[in-house]
Structures are given as C-alpha cells and as structure tokens.
Structure 1
Amino acid sequence: MFQAQFESKLNQSNLHIYLDKPYEEDYQIPMLQKNPIVGILPVKGAALDGRSKYTYQTKGFQTMAVIYEKKPIQQQEIQLLVMELLQIIEKLENYMLNPNCLILDPEYIFLNEKQWYFCYLPGWDGKLSQSFHQLTEYFVRTLDYGDTNGIVLAYELHKATLQENYNLEEIMKQYEAHEEERKRTMEEWREEQRQNRNRLMFGEKAEGVQMRIAEDYGNVFRLTEEEEQYDPEDTKGYYEVEEGMQEIREEGGTWKSWRKAAKRLKRNRWGSWNDFILEGDEDSDSM
C-alpha cells in the first residue's frame, strides 16, 4: 500500500505519494515527461529516507470523492470516465508503460471541467482489474437513483467486472451497442404513442402499442416529459371511447408503468439483482 499527503502553496497544489521501498530511477517517469498523456497527472520521483516519493501537480483539481460527496454521480459522468480511462490505458501500453500502475481510488482521481486525471505510480504492484471493480462499487454507492440509465450502466459494469479476466473495452462496446438499440426501439415506441393519441383524439381506433422495451433489452426506460404530462382525461372533450377500443394508458398511470419496468430490471440479461430494492416495494407487495 502507499501513503498520501496533499500540499497547497500560494499558486500550486501537489499530491505526494510515498511507497515503502527504495526509489529506483527507470524509464517510466522520463517516458511520461517526454510523452505527456492527456489524463495522466505530471509526476516527479525522488528518494526520501529510504522510501520512494512521487509528487503530482494537481493544479487545484477536485477529487472524485469530494465531488460526489456533495451530489450523486450520473450516467454521462460514469461513461465519460470509463471511455477516457480506456484511452489512457491504450496510450500507456503504446509507450510500454504498465496500466496496473494507475491508481483508481476516488480519493486520487481528479476532474478538471470534463477531463478526468489519474495518478500513474511507478513501482506500485496494483491490479487494474481489481481496482476498477472496486471503483464500480463506488459508482453503485453514489448513484443518482432517479437516473435510470445510470443505474443500468453502474450495475452492468459491477456485474460484468465480477468475472475473472474481464475485458473492459468489450464490456463498454456491448453496453453502447445495447444502448443504441434500446434508444431506437424507444423512439419507435414514442412514435406509436404519439400516433395513437392522435387517432384517439379524432375518434379513430388505436393500434396496439408493444411495450417490448424492457422485455427485449432488459433495460429500464425513462418516460419523456411529454409522456409524464399527458393525461387521457384531457382528451375527453374531443372523443368518446367506443366499445372495443384499446386503451393506451393502463390504470395506475406513469408511476405504475415505471415501477413495472424497473422491476424487470432485476432479472435482466446481466443476472438477477436481488439487492436492487425500489422505494415502496414493501408497501406495494403487502397490498
């Protein structure tokens, strides 16, 4: 393990990390200095009292731990971090640097505007796959549970990284392909809803709406603002429901539809989520 200390001066902020091993100069720090990588904090190494000392210029950036102590993390932020991390890993390997030397502790991951920054610690015997899995646990703990897309991404990452020798790049490719397909299907469903509302307003018979999104893709979907505000009662002045006409809205409204979809999430293609509990489940189950 290592010890860390933050230092702030008049116009400079640094992070010092100490390893309990003698400092050895090798190609790693000179390689980083000659080939700066976007997303890797500038670092210098030195010997101190028989130990190794590494100093990083943090430039006043905020740590992930500080940022999400005040607010929950969103799907876009998780996805941005993972994609930037993958790019950094690829560049490190191109320069014959070891990605296992990356520190993925939220206390030492920094954000500046929309760019994440990581510490590269030469001589550290970390394991990237284990470190990233622990980071996904942090995602799950700090989620915005109103962000259904964030729930899906965080739990899929956490579930997938339980596997031994997982491939993070492949996991993200599968997730992105899955999301694109879900979005296309959701757009089709919204268009069907819009067309059926128009038919009902003019007294025409509505076509069947296939609520297939959650079943086909195992994903929670978020209703649009238009869907949330729509009320069938608003159209009573325009038409009368004829016998045999299909109802678009099920009894129970928007919240009931969301809860059904969210419950499907527990048994999606990534496995059963027995620990995923919706607020109010206990009350509704007892009714």
Structure 2
Amino acid sequence: MREISYYKDYRHNYLIIREDEMTGDDYQRKMITENRIRGLLPCQIRYINGETLLYYEITSKQSVKGLFEGKHLTMKELKGLFISLKMVMEETASFLLPEDGLLIEPDMIFTELEKDEFYFVYDPFSEIRGAQTLITLLEFLADHVDGEDNAALQAVYHMLDLAEKEQFVLDEIVEWFGEEEQPENVPEPEKEIHEMQMEEPYPCYEEQEPAENPAIQRLISTQAAKVYLVCAVFLSVVLG
C-alpha cells in the first residue's frame, strides 16, 4: 500500500512515497535516483528509521489537481499535458523503465505556473492499474474543462470515450491535437499594384526664331561695313 506525504523545509518542497515493504525493482530505483530524466520529478532515496523513502522535488510546482480546482482547463493546457505525457513516456522507455511506474493521477502530475510543461512521478513500487487510472484522469479533466472552450470539451470527451472502449492510443491523440491546432492556410494578402498614371504631356511648342527688327538689321550691316573698311586699309598699309 503506497503512502504519500509532503515535507517542506526552508528551501525545498517534497512529495514523499513510503511503502510498507520494499517490493520495488532495484534497477528502476537506481534509474530514477541516479539520472535526471526529462519530464520526471527529480527523486532522492532516503533511509529513515528503517524505512526507505523516495523524495520527489516539487519546489515551485503545483499539482494538476490543485491547479484546476481553482481555474478552468483550456485547450492549450490540455494539449500541453498530453504532449508532456507522450514525451515522458518516450524518455522513460529509453531508460528501460516500464510505463506502469508512471503515475498519472491528477495529484501526481505537477506543473510550473510560468511554463507549459508538466512533470510526473515515477514510482518503482507501483502496481499495474491498466486503463482505469487514465479514465480517472480524464474524468477529472472533464469536470474542470472550460465550458466555453468547445475544442477542449470535444477533445476531453473524445479521449474519455476512447479510454472507456480501450481504444486510447496516446500517439494518435497527440497527432490529433496537432491537427486541431494547425492554423488554417490563410492566403497571402494580394499586393496592391499601383500603376503610375502618366500625366498628360505638356503641349509641345516649336522653337521659333525671334522676329527680325529692320532697324537693328540696318545697324548691324552698317557696323560690319565699317569694320570691313578698316581692315582693308590696314592690310594695304602693311602690304605696302
């Protein structure tokens, strides 16, 4: 029988799992205490008064149960939860940890308020609980989903229906979330092409020679004759 308690000191908050008998697997215990596995709460093993205790670091984190009892669950949070669940299952599998040790009860899943990621408890003492634990989680989410978020409502009840029929496949659910969130192909706005309107050309004017003034023409002719006469006299003197 698993016993859960909480402990807080001046720097840290812990969730503590204690078992009456050490039925857990030594390999699993070492994996979660000696490695930092993405998506799992950091875990330490402590021996106190002849008991073996697992301390899970939950500082600055809040459980899903505590979080959504005070607010409504949105589609964004729902998607983040199941993407985190898929990721942590892949991570634990890479360490050869069975899925049965992953606790998905609402009070065993934690999140940080500033982040969209969720963190899980891995319990090497856990027993196989099958689909019932998933149904418990989905029923909790259904009770706390935002009633005005139609996408979130449909997603929760769709998953709950699949789980009750034992047809729930996490990979398909996460893929379905991706399709639901995919933005529609919005055509690019048409670029307005402004054609430069050619202004009407200015009227063309033919270049006209200035009108001849008879008086000026007579003056020019007289001056030219005088210059010609002076030049002729000069040349006759020079040439002798």
Q: Does 1:145 align with 2:147?
A: yes
> Quick one: structure 1 residues 69 and 97, their matched pair in 2 at CA, closer, same or farther if it must change by over 3 Å?
same
Distance between the aligned counterparts of 1:84 and 1:90, measured in 2? Answer: 10
1:26 corresponds to? 26
**Structure 1 residues 155 and 24: CA distance shift in structure 2, 3 A:** closer
Amino acid at match of 1:36: R
Task: Quote the Cα distance in structure 2 between the aligned partners of 1:141 and 1:122.
Answer: 30
- Unpaired runs of at least 5, structure 1: 189-287
**C-alpha deviation, 1:172, in angstroms:** 2.7
Aligned residue type for 1:94: S
Whole-angstrom CA distance in 2 between matches of 1:65 and 1:20: 26
Q: Highest CA radius of gyration, 1 or 2?
A: 2
The equivalent residue for 2:53 is: 53
Go from structure 1 to structure 2 and tell me whether the alpha carbon gap of 1:179 and 1:60 turns closer, same or farther (over 3 Å shift). closer
* Percent of aligned pairs sharing the same letter: 24
> How far is 1:50 from its partner?
6.7
Provide the secondary structure at the position in 2 that maps to 1:18.
Answer: strand
**Are 2:36 and 1:36 aligned?**
yes
Paired residue secondary structure (1:27): helix
TM-score normalised by length of structure 2? 0.69
CA positional deviation for 1:130: 2.6
Partner residue in 2 for 1:73? 73
Aligned counterparts of 2:65 and 2:42: Cα–Cα separation in 1: 20
Give ranges in structure 2 of 5+ residues lacking alignment.
188-240
Q: 1:71 to 1:92 in 2, by over 3 A?
A: same
Which residue pairs with 1:13 in the alignment? 13
1-structure distance, mates of 2:127, 2:27:
17
2:79 touches 2:177 (CA, 8 Å); kept in 1? no
1:23 and 1:46 in contact (8 A); partners too: no
Q: Residues 201-238 of structure 1, C-alpha deviation per residue, up to 9 Å, x if partnerless?
A: xxxxxxxxxxxxxxxxxxxxxxxxxxxxxxxxxxxxxx
TM-score when normalising by structure 1: 0.58
- In structure 2, relative to structure 1, the CA distance for the partners of 1:16 and 1:144 (3 Å cut) is same
* 3-state DSSP of counterpart to 2:124: coil
Aligned length: 186
Which of 150, 171, 188 is matched with 1:169 structurally? 171
Letter in 2 for 1:11: R
Superposed CA offset, 1:228-264 (max 9, x none): xxxxxxxxxxxxxxxxxxxxxxxxxxxxxxxxxxxxx
- Inter-partner Cα distance in structure 1 for 2:87 and 2:43: 19
What residue identity is the alignment partner of 2:9? K
Q: How far, CA to CA, are the matches of 1:103 and 1:19 in structure 2?
A: 15
In structure 1, distance between residues paired with 2:38 and 2:110: 12
Contact 2:63 2:107 in 1 (8 A): yes
From the superposition, tell whether residues 46 and 126 of structure 1 become closer, same or farther in structure 2 (CA, over 3 Å).
farther
